[in-house]
Chain A
Amino acid sequence: MSLNGKRILIAKPGLDGHDVGAKIIALALRDAGADVIYTGLRRSPDYIARVAVDEDVDAVGLSILSGSHKELVEETVRCLAELDAGDIHLFVGGTIPGEDHDELRNAGARGIFTAEMTIDDVVAAIEADLGT
């Protein structure tokens, strides 16, 4: 399996200022063949959704360490839908307690990645989801 030809936006909404994890994922996805766009720190869901549309990505990966993952995922889903881009797949990674996973899935996250997973597992899950 490969992510060749897939475009993925890695975005950091919210206020936390650590993007090492986001950058590591970005590089791993590149190595798996994807074209990866990174937004930089502290982007609003609205900004992220617009970039996702202009870049016509297949998926958006949100990296969230701030604890406000519920609000940020919901808001990003809403913004994507508003731009008629609700079909863009959404993943979320970061410090996300297990008890929140169901809620995030119901809100529209197709994958939830935590520090317990290896990078390879994350890439494999994204490959399986975007499927080629």
Chain B
Amino acid sequence: MSGPSRNPRRNLSRALSRIANADVTDTLAQQSVLPTENLPRIGITGAPGAGKSSLIARLAKLRKNADRKVAVLAVDPSSPVSQGSILGDRIRMDAIADDPDIFIRSIPSRRAHDGLADNTADLLNAMEGHGFGEIILETVGVGQAEYTIRTLVDTVVLILVPHSGDAIQAMKAGILEMADIYVVNKADLPGADLMAAEIEQVADHQSADGWTPPVIMTTRDDPAGFAALDDAINAHAAWRADHRDVTAARRARARYQTQGLISRRIDEILEAAGEDFLDQDPGALFDAIVSRLGR
């Protein structure tokens, strides 16, 4: 199909594909200036199967209204073997897939290993200016990924499940020091109270900057938990408005996005150059890559 569609939803959808499929040069051409809009971004992360997609379905329903359309970007891992993927988040978001005020886009992680897609920053920017009021980003938490998502979103929600050893692992990895809101999901499972209490203790030590991360228990069939999460996100947004260092946040995003573009550019160079390009000493290889880096 060429030219704009009479269906605005299709235009948006295709605009995202253009960014998703763009090589580095095209990406830079399409995003030569930073977006003027700055939509609030909520990042939902946690271990595989923690219930992120199911929770987003409920959360999005609560947060959307006529004046605030919600866009969901859901990242699922690509197979390192075939580069293909099964994008399975949407199936858990059934309940909202028909809602005209909610837009869901599934994206493969491609080469990235940090739970995000290598072009997430570009895609998030591309969501601006399409009439949305807020963006929710789902990413699988794989160790350090939680730090990356922090750079790209305004509010980080970490989903944990009872009795998964999650709390201890999360503490080890230092993850329990980076979320703005903790959710103990599947609170119908035994051990939820204990886990919430443990995390609360950690969270209490995390208030150096004045925001003490709340710990919220959610269960599939209990609206009260999701309402509490909705409130907590609003409270964090209000707090952020007064306390966040906007310049530092913007710089961190610029740094992440640019590093991602350069890393992708290096992949492009290596792919174009062929295998035997790699048969050089590290210094010579480095110089050869650097000499080709320009646009």
Cβ-defined contact, A53 with B86, below 8 A: no
The residues in B between 98 and 118 inclusive whose CB is less than 8 angstroms from any CB of A are 98, 103-106, 108
Residue among A4, A5, A33, A35 with max Cβ neighbours from chain B (10 Å): A35
* Distance, CA A84 to CA B4, complexed state (A): 10
* Distance, CA A85 to CA B106, complexed state (A): 18
**B244 smallest CB distance to A (angstroms):** 31
Across-interface contacts of A87 in B (CB, < 8 A): 1
Cβ-defined contact, A56 with B86, below 8 A: no
Cβ-defined contact, B84 with A53, below 8 A: no
Q: Secondary structure of the B side of the interface?
A: mixed
* Distance, CA A34 to CA B87, complexed state (A): 10
* Distance, CA A40 to CA B127, complexed state (A): 27
* Distance, CA A7 to CA B14, complexed state (A): 12
Cβ-defined contact, A31 with B1, below 8 A: no
Cβ-defined contact, A4 with B83, below 8 A: yes
Cβ-defined contact, A84 with B84, below 8 A: no
How many residues of B are counted as interface, with CB atoms below 8 angstroms from the partner's CB atoms? 31
* Distance, CA A56 to CA B78, complexed state (A): 18
Asked if B88 is an interface residue, CB under 8 A from chain A, the answer is yes
Cβ-defined contact, A55 with B106, below 8 A: yes
Asked if B6 is an interface residue, CB under 8 A from chain A, the answer is yes
The residues in A between 37 and 64 inclusive whose CB is less than 8 angstroms from any CB of B are 37-40, 47, 50-51, 53-56
Across-interface contacts of A35 in B (CB, < 8 A): 78, 84-85, 87, 106, 108
Asked if A124 is an interface residue, CB under 8 A from chain B, the answer is no
Residue of A nearest to B5 (CB): A84
**A88 smallest CB distance to B (angstroms):** 9
Asked if A125 is an interface residue, CB under 8 A from chain B, the answer is no
Asked if B7 is an interface residue, CB under 8 A from chain A, the answer is yes
Asked if A27 is an interface residue, CB under 8 A from chain B, the answer is yes
* Distance, CA A26 to CA B79, complexed state (A): 13
Cβ-defined contact, B84 with A33, below 8 A: yes
Across-interface contacts of B10 in A (CB, < 8 A): 53, 56, 83-85
The residues in B between 57 and 115 inclusive whose CB is less than 8 angstroms from any CB of A are 78-79, 81-88, 90-91, 94, 97-98, 103-106, 108
**B186 smallest CB distance to A (angstroms):** 21
Across-interface contacts of B98 in A (CB, < 8 A): 47, 50
Cβ-defined contact, A40 with B94, below 8 A: yes
**B73 smallest CB distance to A (angstroms):** 12
4 interchain residue pairs of minimum CB distance:
A30-B84, A56-B13, A84-B7, A56-B17
Q: Can you list 13 A-B pairs, Cβ within 8 angstroms, ordered by A? A: A30-B79, A31-B81, A32-B82, A32-B84, A33-B84, A35-B78, A37-B87, A37-B90, A38-B88, A47-B98, A50-B97, A85-B5, A87-B1
